[in-house]
Structure 1
């Protein structure tokens, strides 16, 4: 049971965001304390349509948190383990990232849905044909290092 204090109700982020998780990994710039690459890896189920607003908030919030805490030069946004079927709000995650200094990793759980989000429902295009999206972490990092 959640305790109420002065009309405030304790909330649970995991419950609100449908159990979405986020892990951060860093890679330093040569032999310095500076962070060259921040890898932000999300996992979980993104609920369809507007029900996924909380998951989107969790993802964009953690993206901004990671940027603020580690101040990296480049960012890998890894959604390869996010089960995403549809919902226009996911585009907001794509909008906040800078294609000049970041890449996005997609996976089997969301590749088709991200493709239709970007190119339309009837598209035959594959999102990984775009220079920002990859289905392989190593290839994405390779590309990022060349940016």
Structure 2
């Protein structure tokens, strides 16, 4: 049997580099589920920290999208509430993709806001998503949960 052809050129070795989603962003997150009676679980994803302004927030958006994707697969909720009260968000269009990634079964996420993010999110929902902020943005968690649990 003939020997297989071997290339005598040196083949560079693979370099393994450990990676973490934390490299994308310093934003912190928490998960919780909410259920009323024997209904389906709703997922609450809380984000805290400073979202970069403009394109400086692109890594933050990628991180948030990855966290939401992980949570959707892990918990399989009927709907999502994004609690952004602890997130300092001033501007950045990639946040629209964060909101879109949290859509479950055609149900858009409700977003809990505070003074740290309300103005920018109101502008984003109105101008980028073309939606009424009154349908998406809420001052309290309970109102947001009710909006998703229709």
Shorter chain as denominator, the TM-score bin is 0.7 to 0.9
How many residues get paired? 133
Deviates most, 132-141 or 95-104:
95-104
TM-score (norm 2): 0.75
Tell me how large the CA RMSD over aligned residues is: 2.5
C-alpha distance in 2, partners of 1:30/1:101? Answer: 22
User: Larger Cα Rg: Structure 1 or Structure 2?
Assistant: 2
Structure number with the higher strand fraction is 1
SS of the residue 1:9 aligns to: coil
Displacement over 6 Å in runs of 4+ = none
Q: Unpaired segments of 5 or more residues in structure 2?
A: 1-12
Q: Give the conservation status (yes or no) of the 8 Å contact 1:73–1:101.
A: no
C-alpha distance in 2, partners of 1:107/1:69? Answer: 28
Aligned to 1:75: 80
Aligned to 2:22: 14
1:114 aligned to 118, 121, 126, which one?
121
Q: Unpaired segments of 5 or more residues in structure 1?
A: 121-126
TM-score (norm 1): 0.77
SS of the residue 1:100 aligns to: coil
Q: Give the conservation status (yes or no) of the 8 Å contact 1:26–1:35.
A: no
